[in-house]
Amino acid sequence: MLPAILLILTMCKKDEWFTFTITDSTTFDITPITPIALPYELPLPDITTNSEQEFKNNNTSVGLVKEIKLSTLDLFIQNPADKTFSFLKAISIYIRTNDDDEILLATKTDIDSDAKMISLNTTEAILDKYVKADSYKLRTEVTLRETLTQAVTIEAKMKYNVKADPL
């Protein structure tokens, strides 16, 4: 009898919010440089968000979003086609807006030198104010394992999990 009552109470307690995913991407170049084992910064272009439309497409709005977290951040070498991440020892990516402080988004150390794609370790940071903004900025800090003699183009693909109330 008790399990039946618990089942009924659980069914009556309805979770009103739902989840969906927003994706963003950007491409950046690492130019030929020589500072090995020293971290240096790479400026990245601003990322214009389409979050309001994404929220609308998912039957919610900015004001009804409860939480946004980064679920994945993957890096892919776009050019040169035969290049691997052999040059990269460590990478950290930070996020900020014009109005909000910078926070760590994701990081990776001990990168496999044969990899053409790497998945960074994401933080548990709540990113509502960044993803809800019209645009946000990423800053990348890299440490090289070897001298880079040619430019490398990298694409960063991000997936954000969004929890929101329906309209």
Instruction: Write out pLDDT tens, residues 40-49.
Output: 787 777 888 8
Kindly state the average pLDDT of the residues 91-104: 93
Residues ≥6 apart with Cβ < 8 Å to 59: 166, 167
CATH code for the part of the protein at 17-164:
2.60.120
Record the pTM.
0.84
CA distance 49 to 131: 7
Q: Quickly state the pLDDT bin for 15 (edges 50, 70, 90).
A: low
* CB-based burial label for 75 (10 Å; 0-12, 13-18, 19+): buried
Query: Is residue 34 pLDDT above 90, yes or no?
Result: no
User: Cα–Cα distances in Å, from 12 out to 2, 8, 16, 21, 150?
Assistant: 15, 6, 12, 27, 61
Mean per-residue pLDDT, 73-77: 97
Indicate the length of the chain as a whole number.
167
Q: Residue 51: what pLDDT?
A: 86
First to last CA, the chain: 37
Q: What is the pLDDT of residue 9?
A: 40
pLDDT in tens, 103-118: 999 999 989 999 999 9
Single out the residue of 145, 156, 85 nearest to residue 115, CA to CA: 85
Stretch among 40-44, 61-65, 77-81 having the lowest mean pLDDT: 40-44
* pLDDT number for residue 35: 67
pLDDT over 50 at 14, yes or no: no
